[in-house]
Amino acid sequence: MTKDMTMGTEQDHSYGHTHSKSMNEEEKKQKQIDDWLPITSSRNAKWWYSAFHNVTAMVGAGVLSLPFAMSELGWGPGVTIMVLSWLITLYTLWQMVEMHEVGDGRRLDRYHELGQYAFGEKLGLWIVVPQQLLVEVGVDIVYMVTGGKSLQKVHTLVCTDTCKDIKLTYFIMIFASCHFFLAQLPNFNSISLVSLAAAVMSLSYSTIAWAASVKKGVQPDADYTYKASTQTGKFFNFLSALGDVAFAYAGHNVVLEIQATIPSTPEKPSKGPMWKGVVVAYIVVAICYFPVAFIGYYIFGNKVEDNILVSLQKPVWLIVIANMFVVIHVIGSYQIYAMPVFDMMETFLVKQLHFTPGLPLRLIARTCYVAFTMFVAICFPFFGGLLGFFGGFAFAPTTYFLPCIMWLAIKKPRKLSLSWFINWICIVLGVMLMILAPIGGLRSIIVQAKTYKFFS
C-alpha cells in the first residue's frame, strides 16, 4: 500500500496537474466501491453490536457436540483442553483487536489485510485467504447440515404417527430457502437484528441442554471410560475430539470484519469498544460451553450422542423448542460467516473483473454461494466427522496460532520476554492441534461413509 502511494507521489511530480486529477478520480472510484462493499460500507456500530456478533460467530451448534468430545477426551484431558482453548483463543482474539489499527491512521478491515501487513502483499494473501475461506465456507456447509438436521428432529418429535418420513435432503433445502433472501442484506449492521436473535438463541439452547440434563439426573449406565475398545480407536477418537473443540472456537475468522464496522478516530480507536464487546462475548461463551460440556458428560458418560439434544429425549416440548432455537441460531451464524465471503467475492468481481457494483451483481453472486453451500451439505452430511476434520485443518491456524505469528512479525516483542514465550507456546500447541485433529476427523468420516447413501 505505502509503496503504491510513494510511486503515486513520484509520478505526480513528473506528470503534473493532469495526473493528480486522474488520481483523484481513481480515488473517488475506489471510495465508491468501498462504500458499496459489505465490510466497509457501514462504520457506525456500537460496542454491543460486537458483543452479539461475536457470540453468534463463536457459540455455534458445535457447543452441542462438546459433551461427546469430553467423552472421547476423558475428564482430565477434557477439562484441561477446554479451559486452555478458552484462554488461548481469548488471548489471540485480543491480539487481533489490537492489530486492527496501524499507527499511520490505516485500518486493517479484513483478516487477509492483516496477513498482508505482517507477511507482505502476495504472501499474506496466500497464507490467509485459503484458510479463511475454508473456515467460513466450511462452517456455512456444516450449518446447512445442522439446520436441516434440527428441522428434521423437530418434525420427528412433533409428528409421531400421522406423518411420513421426509428425507434430510429436503430439510436442508427448507433451511437454505430463507438464506436466499437474508443473503441480500448488504452489510454487518443490516444483519444485527438477525445476529442478536441468534446470540439470544445460543444462550437459550445451551441453558436448555445443561438444565434438562441436570433434571434428568445421572444415568444408571453412565460410564466415564473410553467408548472405543481398541487402543487405536481410543487414539483416533481423541484426535477427532480435539477438532470438535477447535471448531467450537472459530470466531476469529470474522473478528476484524466485525471491528471494521465500529467508528475509529486517533483519539478514540475502535479497539476500545471492540474489546469491551469481546469480553462480554467470552463471558457468554464460558456460560454456554463449560456447563454443557461438563454437565452433559457427567450425566450421560460415554453414552452421550454427538449432539446432546439427541440424548435428551424428554420432555418432548422442551427438546422441540431447543431444536428450533438451534435453527434460528444457525440462520444468524450462517450470515455472520457468509458476510466476509460475500465481501471477497464482490471485491474480486468489481476490482479484478471490473463488474459494475449494484443489485444485479449482488443478487447473482450471493444466490450462487447459498446454492453451492446447500448442494455440498446435501451431498456430505457427516456432521461429527466434518467438525473434527475442518476443526483441525483450518480452525487451528486462524484461531490458535496465526495471530501469534503476526504479532511476532508486527510487534516484534523482545526475545525471551514473557510475550515472546506466550506466543511461542500458543504456536507450538496450535501446530500440534492442526496436525493431529484432521487425522481423527478424516477417520470418522471414512467410518461413517461406509454406511452412508448419497442424497438420503
Q: What is the pLDDT along the chain (456 residues), one digit of tens a residue?
A: 444 433 333 333 443 444 445 557 777 777 788 888 888 777 888 888 888 888 888 887 778 889 999 999 989 999 999 999 899 989 999 999 999 987 777 888 899 999 999 999 999 999 899 888 888 888 898 889 889 988 998 898 888 777 788 888 999 999 999 999 999 998 888 888 989 999 899 889 899 889 988 988 888 887 888 887 888 888 888 888 887 787 777 778 888 889 988 988 888 889 899 999 999 999 999 998 999 999 999 998 888 887 787 777 778 888 899 889 989 999 999 999 999 999 999 999 998 888 888 889 999 999 999 999 999 888 877 655 565 566 567 778 888 889 999 999 999 999 989 999 999 999 998 898 888 878 877 777 777 677 666 555
**Could you tell me how many residues make up the chain?**
456
Rounded Cα gap, residues 369 and 343, in angstroms:
12
Instruction: Report the alpha-carbon angle 210-211-213, nearest 5.
Output: 65
Neighbours of 388 (CB within 10 A): 34
Return all residues near 26 (Cβ < 8 A) that are at least 6 apart.
Answer: none
Neighbours of 314 (CB within 10 A): 10
3-state secondary structure of 385: helix
Residue with cell 489485510: 113
Torsions phi, psi for 107 (to 5 deg): -120, 140
Torsions phi, psi for 101 (to 5 deg): -100, 125
Q: At what angle do helices 359-379 and 168-182 cross, to 10 degrees?
A: 160
Pick the closest to residue 373 from 321, 333, 328 (CA basis): 333
The predicted pLDDT at position 23 comes to: 55
Instruction: Report the alpha-carbon angle 24-26-28, nearest 5.
Output: 70
CB 381, CB 172: distance < 8 Å: yes
Query: At residue 136, what is the residue type?
Result: E
Rounded Cα gap, residues 228 and 73, in angstroms:
11
CB 245, CB 64: distance < 8 Å: no
Rounded Cα gap, residues 358 and 340, in angstroms:
18
3-state secondary structure of 101: strand
Instruction: Report the alpha-carbon angle 302-306-309, nearest 5.
Output: 100
Model pTM score: 0.85
Pick the closest to residue 374 from 220, 178, 158 (CA basis): 178
**Rounded to the nearest 10 degrees, how much is the dihedral formed by the CA atoms of 359, 335, 48, 262?**
-40
Alpha helices in 230-270 (DSSP H): 231-248, 255-259
Question: Residue 162, class by beta-carbon neighbours within 10 Å (0-12 exposed, 13-18 middle, 19+ buried)?
Answer: exposed
